[in-house]
Structure 1
Amino acid sequence: MADAGASEDQIARLRLIRSENIGPVTYFQLLARFGSARAALDAVPDLAARGGGRAPKLAARSVVQREMEQVAKCGARYLFLGQGLYPPLLAELENAPPALIVKGHLSLLEKPAIAMVGARNASAAACRLARMLARDVGAAGAVVVSGLARGVDTAAHDGALESGTIAVIAGGIDIFYPPENEERQRAISERGLLVAEQPPGVEPRARHFPYRNRIIAGLAHGTVVVEAAPKSGSLITARLAADHGRDVMAIPGSPLDPRAQGCNQLIREGATLVQNADDILEAIRPLHLRPLAQRRLDYGAPAEAADASEVERRAVLDLLSPTPVPVDEILRQSALAPAIVQTVLLELELGGRLERHAGGKVSLAG
């Protein structure tokens, strides 16, 4: 059986997000259009057919129930967007995870948060600095968020473990990665908070880490990069933070060290140069005092459906290619109503013919 505390709506929501071809953006569009996850599940096959593709495989109720049992067995629980204790800062993201799996002290989600990321092969000096910064930021009352990776992430968690730290992991809540951090991950689950988007048992893969990075950036009022090479995952996290309107901070380093080039580049592009915890706290103070955007999450009243004609579908399809393009550009060039364009894109994605990318871009599926 599923968790006794799970409602029928939560089971349907989890079935929807675990179904084929349904990511966060599509999930929210379906709920907004049909008013409930149950109604959206019923509508998916017809929408996919309109998009010219096969109906996606919907997650079976039994599969979701087994997942819920695994989550409960791990001592974890779900946080559903728009319900209960879901982090309000993360809820601001257009592609916020519809469901999180968490284990530990949920009260940490109520404190101002700083993300701290950096190189996996970080220098000893960078690790020491990250540990000190995390300790001092935590002592000032903020929570340190990181990704439990080797190097800077590990040092940041260690520095903030006593005051409170949140580890966002790329795999399932029960998977220890990297393996040498098993005891650290257990300690965070007992004294801090573990956060996962993937179901239990899922081993982290390369494609999971960008999704994890958006959660790290989304949970925090600001992101600090301690040491990072160009084109590293840490810079991806920093740019995601900037896209979300959060502050980006970086520790400057020697131009002779490749591991400092990413931070120096961020500073050239406008990131705040920080050298100590006081600099970090000063940078985020205006942000963590600002009122949060109130995202509308009441799906009780379905939005009016905008059915597209075959001519309109063809107009949108002709503008798509394997190269990602902003949805705004599709709107501009098609001159169609936004509701029509979004409907066509939704149908194409459900049919497996469309891929969504960061920055609100879409492309034809390869």
Structure 2
Amino acid sequence: MLNVSAKRTGVALTERQKISWLRLIRSDNVGPVTFRDLINHFGTADAALDALPELSRRGAGARTFRVATIAEAERELEIAHRFGATFVGIGEPNYPFALRQIDGAPPLLAVKGNLDAAARSSLGIVGSRNASVSGAKFAAMIARDAGRAGYVITSGLARGIDTAAHRASLESGTIAVLAGGIDRPYPPENVGLLNDIMSGQGLAVSEMPFGWEPRARDFPRRNRLIAGISLGVAIVEAANRSGSLITARYAADFGRLVFAVPGSPLDPRCHGTNGLLKQGAIVTTTSDDVLDALAPLSQYRLPLAAGAEEPGHAAPSRQPVPLADGDRATIIDALGPTPAEIDDVIRHTGQPAAEVYLVLLELDLAGRLSRHAGGLVSLNAEQ
């Protein structure tokens, strides 16, 4: 068996810090990237929370900015406690180590189950919900063999391929990433499977609040987490324009390996996987195709992406420095509906990077900024 466990590093959040982090990520217009930028700018979540209303006002927000309250955060922590779950922060030892490496990783994850699973190298396996018998059998074979080699299997708890992968790795360890809250699993028929995962060697993971019913637009976020947690993702039966291809695209963007199982060109369930092979995915016809490619990646840890400061190592808190109206207007005028690189905005305007990032924060919190893959930004068309 390969040594595919990762050394746990990081510093645990205090209870007060966890409440502040939860308040910040649950406040209006604060996503993972905005959370990171706020912590990096102000040093602590408490300082960022104090600055939120003023930042939104400067961004010309059209309505009153809602900051999540201490009572709301404490209530969510209590719900998690009653459910037997907990929250782990991106700088904490029990945060999935590979997920830390991606830009825009969720600052907090709700988790329930065996936390040792988060410290192990992972293989993602996803595919068609309407899986064939042979497709489900092949997914289960890869999951069992990878489990014996020491990998934890990550998937999305969906019907078909996901279910086969989870069931085959119950004993060796599996991570179920949910599109809704941990207490709102989907589909309903996999509730029993999720309970088996959480009560055994596996782990349930979600970035969404407790009680959150999954919507269609939440599933790509779930797919992003699957790709981020995994060193590589194996796609078994995927139609064109399927969610599995979204997972593959995220995996490629993160520099992870993409494996694709070839199938009949007459089977629509294989059109997507065959397309991935044409784009350079690793041809996968045996478990060894996966294990041989993953082995070198399991021997070292990649550098972390820029993220929120770890507790106890935050930069000094800074209050937002007022910008001259002309400087702010120059930065906003440089933006438009076409996504642009932030470095290009800095060069074009000649403004200090710190001021550009601050204006982007103001616009983001006011709901006027859109963020795109690759760190690109654009001004909302309706503004």
Q: What is the TM-score with the length of structure 2 in the denominator?
A: 0.89
Q: Which runs of 5 or more structure 2 residues have no equivalent in the other structure?
A: 1-12
Amino acid paired to 1:354: L
Seq. identity, %: 49
Deviation string for 1:164-183 (max 9, x for gaps)?
Answer: 11100011111131011111
Shift of the 326–231 alpha-carbon distance from structure 1 to 2, 3 Å rule, reads farther
Shift of the 105–70 alpha-carbon distance from structure 1 to 2, 3 Å rule, reads same
**Equivalent of 1:189, from 189, 198, 202?**
198
Counterpart Cα distance in 2 of 1:265 and 1:40:
45
What is aligned with 1:348?
Answer: 363
Counterpart Cα distance in 2 of 1:338 and 1:282:
43
What is aligned with 1:359?
Answer: 374
Deviation string for 1:134-181 (max 9, x for gaps)?
Answer: 111111111110000111111111111121111000111111310111
2:5 is the alignment partner of 1:10:
no
**Equivalent of 1:59, from 64, 68, 83?**
68
Conserved? CA contact 1:116–1:145, under 8 Å: yes
2:228 is the alignment partner of 1:221:
no
Deviation (angstroms), 1:332 = 4.8
Q: Count how many residue pairs are aligned between Structure 1 and Structure 2.
A: 362
Amino acid paired to 1:255: P
Deviation (angstroms), 1:46 = 1.3
Deviation (angstroms), 1:307 = 5.4
SS state at 1:224 partner:
strand
Q: How does 1:146-295 map to 2 (within 5 A)?
A: 146-191=155-200, 192-295=202-305
Counterpart Cα distance in 2 of 1:306 and 1:288:
45
**Equivalent of 1:321, from 320, 329, 336?**
336
Counterpart Cα distance in 1 of 2:277 and 2:322:
47
Counterpart Cα distance in 1 of 2:344 and 2:128:
35
Conserved? CA contact 1:246–1:287, under 8 Å: no
What is aligned with 1:107?
Answer: 116
Deviation string for 1:268-308 (max 9, x for gaps)?
Answer: 11111111211101111122223331456245223776754
SS state at 1:355 partner:
strand
2:88 is the alignment partner of 1:88:
no
Amino acid paired to 1:81: I
Counterpart Cα distance in 1 of 2:208 and 2:260:
29
Q: What is the TM-score with the length of structure 1 in the denominator?
A: 0.93
Conserved? CA contact 2:47–2:317, under 8 Å: no
Shift of the 55–361 alpha-carbon distance from structure 1 to 2, 3 Å rule, reads farther
Counterpart Cα distance in 2 of 1:172 and 1:239:
24
Shift of the 326–119 alpha-carbon distance from structure 1 to 2, 3 Å rule, reads farther
Q: Which runs of 5 or more structure 1 residues have no equivalent in the other structure?
A: none
Counterpart Cα distance in 2 of 1:208 and 1:125:
29
CA RMSD after TM alignment? 1.9
Q: Identify the range of structure 1 (77-86 vs 336-345) with the bigger mean alpha-carbon deviation.
A: 336-345
Counterpart Cα distance in 1 of 2:347 and 2:277:
34
4+ residue runs of structure 1 moved beyond 6 angstroms? Answer: 303-306
